[in-house]
Amino acid sequence: MIQDLKVGIVDDSPLIRQIIQSVVDETPGMRVVGQAGDPFEAREMIKAKNPDVITLDVEMPRMNGLEFLEKIMKLRPMPVVMVSTLTQRGADVTLRALEFGAVDYIAKPDNQAIGAESLKIFSSALVSKLNMVKGSNFAAHGRLQHNQSRYAGQVANAAVKQYACIGIASSTGGIERLRYLISNIRMALPPILIVQHINHIYVQNLVERLQELAPAHITVKAATHREALQPNHIYIADNQRHLQVRQLGNELHAYLLQAPARNGFVASADYLFESLAALDSLPFMGVVLSGMGNDGAAGLQMLRKQGARTLGENEKSCLVYGMPKAAFEAGAIEQELSLEQISAVLNQPA
């Protein structure tokens, strides 16, 4: 018999706790086992109720959610879904929480403007994240280790420099994986374009935090419309438009396309991979990392048919084996590798 997912709620707002409780109570396969208004109450609740997952408010009295998350991950690692405000300050704290090991985040509905539509969006996101925890690989690995200091040593061409560019898709668990890959770069690389599923308000913070980890010869930036792609540059989709690549003369350029969501996302990895597949006279590499859903599978399949090298993060390595699984089952993945092996591919000497 499949056990219900046991959910703990940690939030200083009684209203938010009530909303989360109601959503969980109405969802088959999960139940609330405890609530707490601050981290000190939460510590006792976790000891007494042993939840499978907790929702954790970012800003709380007595100890903020980030400090508490760090303690949890050291003393009692467990899946944590952060509940944060969609503000610039909230963006920075949320990204730090994902770096500390939170599995995902959801945007908190505005206390001053809670209506039927905002509750519907919040409820749908909450159920999706909690269901994701059921199928996650959280217990299989701890936090990924990345280099704390920027590499400034000698740089030689990597074997992957043969590719015109590399496209990467990632979602749940992706930020931690991008941090690992980027902090471990030791070689000169072709342009890399990344679609990471995250709210657009967080993108600039993500860019800045990845740049802090990148070696001295690598530039991380948000992609801008029609800019020429440069070696040793990593371009992040702004997630207000779809990211594509087009050829103008002898140069490749980033194109940002206003279009409806695809597979539930703007930006969608399918748009990126399909745009590369359309340039069938050039060599490319496509990579799909941890994430929910099937975004990228169709585009990567097209890319592989055009002769590109295609890699997927394997099940053991993924936090959520969703996107790579969908791509593998579609025949889009040439080779499934661990994150460490993908990093080794990027750093293989020419």
Length of the chain measured in residues? 350
| Residue among 238, 295, 317, 343 flagged as catalytic | 295
Q: Which residues contact 124 (CB under 8 A, 6 or more apart)?
A: none
Q: Which residues contact 113 (CB under 8 A, 6 or more apart)?
A: none
Do residues 99 and 59 both lie within one domain?
yes
| Residue among 52, 197, 238, 343 flagged as catalytic | 197
Do residues 118 and 202 both lie within one domain?
no
Q: How far apart are CA 240 and CA 75, in angstroms?
A: 38
Of 134, 168, 193, at which residue does a domain stop? 134
- Domain-located, residue 145: no
Q: How far apart are CA 345 and CA 272, in angstroms?
A: 21
| Residue among 84, 123, 136, 171 flagged as catalytic | 171
- Domain with residue 77: its CATH number is 3.40.50.2300
* Domain ranges, residue 42: 5-134
Do residues 164 and 60 both lie within one domain?
no
Nearest to 192 by CA among 230, 162, 154: 230
Are the beta carbons of 193 and 245 closer than 8 angstroms?
yes
CA atoms within 13 A on the CB side of 70: 8
Tens place of pLDDT per residue across the chain (350 aa):
578 999 999 999 999 999 999 999 999 999 999 999 999 999 999 999 999 999 999 888 888 889 999 999 998 999 999 998 767 677 888 899 998 889 999 988 876 667 788 899 899 999 999 999 887 877 655 556 666 567 767 788 999 999 999 999 999 999 999 999 999 999 999 999 999 999 999 999 999 999 999 999 999 999 999 999 999 999 999 999 999 999 999 999 999 999 999 999 999 999 999 999 999 899 999 999 999 999 999 999 999 999 999 999 999 999 999 999 999 999 999 999 999 999 999 999 98
Do residues 120 and 167 both lie within one domain?
no
- Domain with residue 233: its CATH number is 3.40.50.180
The pTM score is 0.92
Question: What domain count does the chain have?
Answer: 2
197 is catalytic: yes
Nearest to 133 by CA among 106, 108, 109: 106
